[in-house]
Amino acid sequence: MTATLIWILVALVAIGLYLSWTAGRLDRLHARIDAARAALDAQLLRRASVAQELATSGVLDPAASIVLYEAAHAARQAEEEQREVAESELSQALRAVFEESQQVEAVREAPGGEEAARELTEAVRRVPMARRFHNDAVRAARALRRHRKVRWFRLAGHAPFPMAFEMDDEAPVALADRAA
């Protein structure tokens, strides 16, 4: 009788430790998502800021400046529910404005344009990487949260189900060529 109780107690302790380890792993994944989201937000804000500065600098033609400024402003002011759409529209505006390499060359030839073109190229290049890191963390947390043990024992607590950030983040060809 005592041996049976000891074995049951050992099994319960082992199960408890395993569940505790799984809950800790899930917590670390949620922390990784939060950090990746903060990095993604910073990169999106940087891209919108650089695009807005470039649009107001006077080196672009007036039509391109207006298109780029409005898209960047909308991306910076977008509510969370509309953020993916606004950021996708900024990507489309960047591709429209910098479709031709002559536009990038015109920016580079202007005073301070070399620095502006470099900053924009870096910002446009970093957004897809930050989004990929965020979405990879979301994918890992979702996979763990789908396990029965996580659902049955409610190991996720009250944490919201992680959502991926889906947007059009394709870089303008002229800027992508410049980065290579």
pLDDT (tens digit, 0 to 9) for every residue of the chain, 180 residues total? 899 999 999 999 999 999 999 999 999 999 999 999 999 999 999 999 999 999 998 888 899 999 999 999 999 999 999 999 999 999 999 999 998 888 888 888 888 888 988 999 999 999 999 999 999 999 999 999 999 999 999 998 888 999 999 999 999 988 876 554
- Counted domains in the chain: 1
pLDDT tens for residues 6-24? 999 999 999 999 999 999 9
In a domain, 95, yes or no: yes
Please check whether residue 93 is in contact with residue 68, taking contact to mean a CB–CB distance below 8 angstroms: yes
Please give the structure tokens belonging to residue 166: 């889906």
How confident is the model at residue 110, as a pLDDT?
A: 85
How confident is the model at residue 178, as a pLDDT?
A: 55
In a domain, 7, yes or no: no
In a domain, 107, yes or no: yes
How confident is the model at residue 173, as a pLDDT?
A: 85
In a domain, 13, yes or no: no
Nearest Cα to 120, choosing from 68, 83, 80? 68
In a domain, 17, yes or no: no
The residue type of 177 is D
Q: How many CB atoms lie within 10 A of CB 7?
A: 10
Please give the structure tokens belonging to residue 120: 């924009």
Write out the residue range of the structural domain in which residue 108 sits: 28-175
In a domain, 42, yes or no: yes
In a domain, 1, yes or no: no
How confident is the model at residue 55, as a pLDDT?
A: 93
Please give the structure tokens belonging to residue 73: 């402003």
> What's the sign of the alpha-carbon dihedral 29, 34, 36, 40?
positive
In a domain, 169, yes or no: yes
How confident is the model at residue 94, as a pLDDT?
A: 95
